[in-house]
Amino acid sequence: MAAAISLSFSLDPQTQHNYHHRFHHNTSFNSHKASIFTPKYTFPFVISSKSHTSNLIIPLSTSQSSSSSSSTSPSSVFQTPLQTGRFLTNQELEKLESLGKYRYFQELESGSLWVRVMREEEMDVTVWLLAESFSDSMLMPKGYVKFMAYLVKQYMIERRALMPYTATLLGFYRENGEDADLQLAGTVEVCFDKRGANANSPTPTPPKNSPYICNMTVDKLLRRRGIGWHLLKASEELISQMSSSREVYLHCRMIDTAPLNMYRKAGYTIVETDNIFILLALQRRKHLMWKVLPDSESLSEVDECTSSVDT
């Protein structure tokens, strides 16, 4: 099943022109994509040379088991405190701490999946994962991936400054086998209320004060393993912890039938669809979908009944 992709920042022609000008005059990139954004970290993150050059590989601690509950973390790097780069109130600090502690773990048929909130030093590899997925879904020439990465980087910097009212989740996957590495498999963005709402939300416009899920994608080499499904489940679980609202919204393009089927099986229904005139703005028509989350106590029971989706 294809990755579920929702581009939630504006790419109208005027925006592209302005960014394109700044891109060529203010930014210098190397030819190899793994070195375009200089990482702020050296250990324990390395770029994988096995398959997909944007994969993030994390060595596992041999003293930890992969069969623990959803609070399990595969290495000490999962304990790094989150930072936003701005002053936070005591209440915001408590919410940020809750985000930093959030963990989701799932055993899959082919391996194991850990999900938690993205750290600042992981932004660049996440940018490349999103940029490549967006470029593929928009049928853009490969030469435009660097330009798309530049746009995504600016967007993610702005979104990160809004934490703890929004968060980007990362899914780390480890193939079955003793020597398998833990690698970045997918990502999804979650907004909890109007303070973290996107000012340029895609149409049809969701309610600003309701939780919103977007920008979900899975690495091309790791699709059809259930990763997309569990990124969605992790998003819903985190929303249940961070938001008082249980009404969750997301977008799905009309042409993306596989993600649409996944969302429907997860309990989402279409509430509105773009009219045909959106094509005049060079955008694909999209469905706005909605779901009321169950109470936290019954959320795990629902997951057990529906976790057979392959995505």
| Residue appearing with tokens 């930890």 | 64
Least confident of 20-24, 71-75, 126-130, 258-262: 20-24
Domains and CATH numbers, the chain: 90-292 (3.40.630.30)
pLDDT tens, 181-220? 999 999 999 999 999 998 888 999 999 999 999 999 999 9
Picking from 15-19, 80-84, 115-119, which range would have the lowest pLDDT averaged per residue?
15-19
Structure tokens at 52: 């997909």
* Highest-pLDDT range among 3-12, 24-33, 193-202, 220-229: 220-229
Q: Which residue, chain included where needed, has tokens 């390395």?
A: 46
Sole residue written with tokens 């435009």:
144
The pLDDT, as a whole number, for residue 8 is: 55
pLDDT value for 137? 80
pTM of the model: 0.75
Cβ neighbours for 28, distance < 8 A, ≥ 6 positions apart = none
The CA distance from 78 to 71, in Å, is 11
What is the CB neighbour count within 10 angstroms for residue 4? 29
pLDDT at 88: 87
pLDDT of residue 135: 87
Inter-residue contact 256 to 4 (CB < 8 Å): yes
Angle at 108 between CA 105 and CA 110, to 5 degrees: 135
| pLDDT (mean) for 297-303 | 51
Contact 186, 227 (CB under 8 A): yes
DSSP helix/strand/coil, 5:
coil
- In contact, 100 and 82? CB cutoff 8 Å: yes
Q: Give per-residue burial for 263-297: e unless 16+ CB within 10 Å, then b.
A: beebbbeeeebbeeebeeeebebbbbbbbebbeee
Q: Answer with the residue of higher pLDDT: 308 or 136.
A: 136
Q: Verify cis geometry, omega within 30 degrees of 0, for the bond prior to 39.
A: no
Number of H helices, E strands in the chain: 7, 10
Residue 85 banded pLDDT, cuts 50, 70, 90:
low
DSSP track, 129-187: HHHHHHHHHTT--GGGHHHHHHHHHHHHHHHHTTTTSEEEEEEEEEESSTTPPEEEEEE
Positions annotated as catalytic residues are 263
